[in-house]
A and B are shown apart, each in its own frame.
Chain A
Amino acid sequence: MSTAKAFVGLGVIVGTLGASALVLSGFFPLVGIMLGGFFGAAFALLTKARVKTPGAGLLWALAFMLLLWLAGAAGILPKFTSEKSMGMLDAARAHFPELIGYLLLFGAPLGLVLGAFATRQSSTQMKPFSLTRALVGGGLAGIVGGWAFGQWMEKAHFFPLIAGLVGSSSRGLGMTLHFIFAVIIGATFGLLFQRDVRGYGSSAGWGMAYGIFWWFLGPLTLMPLLQARRPDWSLSRGQELFGSLMGHIVYGLIVGVLYAALDKLWVGFFIESDPINRQPEGPGSRTLRSLGRGAIAGLIGGLVFWPQIVAVDGLHWIARLAGGTSSTLGLFVHLAISVVIGAGYGVLFERESPDWGAAIGWGMLYGITRWFVGTLTLFPIWLGASFTWTTAAAAAALPSLLGHLLYGAVTASVYLLLERRHRDWMRLDPRFAAYEARRQRPIGTPAPALWFFALSLGVLLPILLS
């Protein structure tokens, strides 16, 4: 049997099994088993050229499952059932448990199994994989991410709950378990996504998506199971754990950035600094240029974001970050932050965008990250309050979410324009053109799936759960 046929066949099998699990959970009618096989085959056919690793498979499958849920349980299906009298949001909320089921029982197994199969078939053609780097880098990154998440867990008195997994209520034990989980999840990040990690920014995006996935898998599913309880996938439980969702997102972002940083540090220190490997433009010059271009792009993004901030009367709030209240001060602070964040984009996302679509995708992802990390987390801390990862805080901050997406898209587009100008100049040298082609993110990575999954859930969950 050819590899392609085997791949599709495996998709049918895993799809059928996943659908069976959904039937058993009550999320699918019996006929859904056949549909599951059909969907597994369709997924395999559509993505067989893209699912090359378990990590890629996981992301593609999660994205397709989210789409399936939007189209089916939350979207079209209620129109044809007794739920058609409900508003769509209410229908989506009512079918929130299906979302988790689709992701965990159908999507994750489908993507991981197909990805593992694909890896075995094509291991000789892929980038070399280093188990040590994956485990050590991911584990270390997981510790730091776990520390950040732990700040909220301490505030929300979550550690004794974690200790309950082993029949204790000790805070210390709970913290220890928390860090063990953080290390393990970080290490699995490295195992799953090492081949996809390029820049810090894209890796942060991968981390964010992985963090959201683990929110569904961890507190909503595994924790109750380990406590011999039935998982509670209800909307109300999701609302109660909104703070944990934020924590998982922040954890994922930190793991992503740190993992990429450790990876790149290794490469930079041991490989790029070796004079034998010298390139026409050294990492120092390249980074400084990226910072400069990003700063300019961020300033323009901030100017485009400005009217939206004025419209929601946000300048006075921003001015408080500098101890004032005037809108003029608020504008300066906003632009200063935009420049710094833009410079960060430049360093985090250099060479990630082969075209405008990719630039806007990464830019929006960066913008939404800025909303989670900045507006919901760092700004309250800066203003002397502690961060409140509650649905109410998210709802209050929702007006600025679109502005952040716009900021990110504009910043990324301007950055691409500036980066291309320099790249076109450098590419006049054929040696540099070849080097640059190797360094640029190629087409064929799970980036589109990541954009859809992370962006959609990043916007959907605050709306659904608020």
Chain B
Amino acid sequence: MLFLRRGLPGLLSGAISGTLLAGALGELWLSLAAGAILGAAYSLALPRLPARPGVAADRAMTAAAFGLPMWGAINVIILPLFAGHSPQWTAEGMRALFAALVGWLLFGFALGLLTAGAVSLVEQLIGPAPAAPKTAPASPKTHIVILGGGFAGVTTAMNLEKEFRRDPSVAFTIVSETNALLFTPLLAEVAGSSLEPTHISTPLRGSFRRTAVVRAQVTGIDLAKQHVQLSGRDETLPYDHLVFALGAVSSQPPGGKMSEHPLDFKTLADAIRIRNHVIDTFDRADAEHDPTKRQALLTFVIAGGGFSGAELAGALNDFARGMLADYPDLPADELRIVLVHSRDRILPELSESLASYALERMRARGVTFELNARVASARPGAVTLKRDDTEFEIATGTLIWTAGAVPNPLLKELPVELDKRGAVLVDGTLRVKGHSGLWALGDCAVVPDAKTGKPCPPTAQFAIRQARTLAHNLRASITGRALKHFHFDALGTLCVVGHHTACAEINGFKFSGFFAWLLWRGIYLSKLPGLDRKVRVLSDWLIELFFPRDIVQTIESRSPPQKTAA
């Protein structure tokens, strides 16, 4: 029917218009044949436009303009090549082909005009093409709910939108305690006042096209009724498929006495708090004349020598030492950044050589290390460390806890299989074992790698790839197709430990120093979601080249620091 409606009119119009190509192609039969073929192809390729006034003029002029490249392709290049000559694109050659150019332009105009008229005539004779049946927008049949607005949850939602596109039978909802995706690799830069806090967070509402965003805390999940209970809302959220992307929370420091004192380093608010606390502490130290108390104030203890702790130590060290220029009364040798780690080397995720390099560089820049030690307890003004069987105290006004994370404790309330850490066990397709319609990924799940069988590490690069597989599997599950098992070979790791200093292992290659630092910044800038976020972060880094880091305190302490008597 398409051929009858469009192909045939185009073919006939092209044949008639083809008479104008006799000068261009030499033989009348050839020009008629070429015209017919081009006419049919042109007509079939045209987008179907409603028969409105003016369409004929548009088509005629557009087709006339297309006569120019047709002349160039056929008469100037192809025909001479077929005849064993070089293309005729010199001035003399084009002058000799002037008649053919006129022929093509006129052919195009005639083709466009006649085709538009012929198609319109056919529609009048046999009636217009039946319009596509308008289906009433169906209420969604399948509701996918994603719990968690981190890398895993957000990437799952984005990939679900790509998988299902406009399919109205599936709806997505993401539930998040925050309204933005935090790009955690750059969190230390916020604490160290290199970056503005909002620049490393991408608003959830601007990230999706048709995923509903619910800002709430999950207070309960009824697996039998397939409902999710949310804080601050009476109604529950029904689901057909539930995705656990709840991530991990900071593990609790040992001993009840410490739970009130440490600063966390997990969220944006934590990073902002740390930055403001450092500034506030400097002001207090500046008002303190007792050297012992002053040194305690200027001692910052960070528990945990993994990526978070090491990067935070490097960033705080740079920030704090840079601030000394604004506090001329504070002795530089009283400032201490102490990194406490339970093993004999920091950064266990990196190779030994890179970890040693990082430690030496940080030590050279002024960071102090307490290795093979754990934080035993803390009280206002001091932290007690334990090494082997010996305990010793460090006088400090600041303890920041980065020593480990555990899966979201909400999972422990559910009748699902968990490992000893509290992460939910899933099969290779990311389905929760023993439960249909339940899926999990990221830091809150134990995802086995399809090739090695080993659990995937809880990192963002794995969470993002798991999300892609999960979205595919959700669609496959709904449409009755085969699911994929997850596999991913880690690309590498990157860690920045100070100004122009980083360590990187990428596909087995090791890098350190300035080049690794450039890699770190370049790779994470490219991975930061949102083009405007990239521009903002890049501008922050460029500004940092010319101006010192900002020491404006944005969260006021409860009382201004008091000058003590000397």
State the A residues within 8 Å of B (CB): 46-50, 60, 63, 67, 70-71, 74-75, 87-89, 92, 280, 282, 284-285, 288-289, 308, 311-312, 355-358, 360-361, 364, 394-396, 398-399, 401-402, 405-406, 409, 424-429, 432, 443-444, 448-449, 451-452, 455-456, 459-460, 463-464, 466
* B52: Cβ under 8 A from any A Cβ: yes
Q: Is the CB of B56 within 8 A of A46?
A: yes
Q: Is the CB of B209 within 8 A of A47?
A: no
Q: Is the CB of B89 within 8 A of A399?
A: yes
Q: Which of B63-71, B239-247, B416-424, B549-557 contacts A (4 or more CB under 8 A)?
A: B63-71
Query: Which A residues are in CB contact (< 8 Å) with B54?
Result: 47-50, 444
Query: Which B residues are in CB contact (< 8 Å) with A455?
Result: 65, 68
Q: Is the CB of A398 within 8 A of B94?
A: yes
Q: Is the CB of B56 within 8 A of A364?
A: no
Q: Is the CB of B68 within 8 A of A398?
A: no
Query: Which B residues are in CB contact (< 8 Å) with A394?
Result: 91
Query: Which A residues are in CB contact (< 8 Å) with B210?
Result: 428-429
* B106: Cβ under 8 A from any A Cβ: yes
User: A133 vs B143: C-alpha distance in the bound complex, in angstroms?
Assistant: 51
Q: Which residue of B lies closest to A52 (CB)?
A: B54
Q: Closest CB-CB distance, B25 to chain A, in whole Å? A: 15
Question: CB < 8 Å: which of B62, B109, B209 contacts A432?
Answer: B209
Given contacts A284-B532, A311-B87, contact A448 B68 (CB under 8 A): no
User: A285 vs B54: C-alpha distance in the bound complex, in angstroms?
Assistant: 36
Given contacts A398-B90, A426-B209, contact A448 B52 (CB under 8 A): no
Query: Which A residues are in CB contact (< 8 Å) with B46?
Result: 357
Known: A364-B68, A396-B91, A448-B59. 12 other contacts (CB 8 A): A46-B56, A49-B52, A70-B102, A87-B99, A88-B98, A288-B535, A312-B89, A401-B89, A409-B69, A448-B61, A452-B65, A455-B68
User: A361 vs B112: C-alpha distance in the bound complex, in angstroms?
Assistant: 15
Query: Which B residues are in CB contact (< 8 Å) with A463?
Result: 91, 94-95, 98, 101
Q: Is the CB of A67 within 8 A of B64?
A: yes
User: A401 vs B47: C-alpha distance in the bound complex, in angstroms?
Assistant: 29
Write out, one digit per residue, whether chain B residues 41-77 have a CB within 8 A of any chain A CB (1) or not (0): 0000111010011101111111011101100100011
Q: Is the CB of A466 within 8 A of B95?
A: yes
User: A449 vs B66: C-alpha distance in the bound complex, in angstroms?
Assistant: 12
User: A426 vs B158: C-alpha distance in the bound complex, in angstroms?
Assistant: 12
Q: Is the CB of A452 within 8 A of B64?
A: yes
* B381: Cβ under 8 A from any A Cβ: no
A-B contacts, 17 listed (Cβ < 8 Å) = A48-B54, A60-B61, A88-B98, A88-B102, A89-B99, A282-B532, A360-B66, A364-B65, A396-B91, A399-B91, A402-B89, A406-B69, A425-B209, A428-B210, A448-B58, A448-B62, A451-B61
* B441: Cβ under 8 A from any A Cβ: no
Query: Which A residues are in CB contact (< 8 Å) with B60?
Result: 46, 448
Question: Which of A50, A60, A311, A466 lies at the interface centre, i.e. has the most chain B CB atoms within 10 A of its CB?
Answer: A50
Question: CB < 8 Å: which of B57, B61, B68, B105 contacts A405?
Answer: B68
Query: Which A residues are in CB contact (< 8 Å) with B264?
Result: none
Q: Is the CB of B65 within 8 A of A361?
A: yes
Query: Which A residues are in CB contact (< 8 Å) with B45?
Result: 356
In the complex, which residues 68-125 of chain B have their Cβ closer than 8 Å to any Cβ of chain A?
Answer: 68-69, 72, 76-77, 86-87, 89-91, 94-96, 98-99, 101-103, 105-106, 109
Q: Is the CB of A285 within 8 A of B531?
A: yes
* B257: Cβ under 8 A from any A Cβ: no
Q: Is the CB of B91 within 8 A of A70?
A: no
Question: Which of A67, A280, A452, A460 lies at the interface centre, i.e. has the most chain B CB atoms within 10 A of its CB?
Answer: A452
Q: Which of B29-37, B159-167, B283-291, B310-318 contacts A (4 or more CB under 8 A)?
A: B159-167
User: A429 vs B56: C-alpha distance in the bound complex, in angstroms?
Assistant: 34
Q: Is the CB of B72 within 8 A of A405?
A: yes
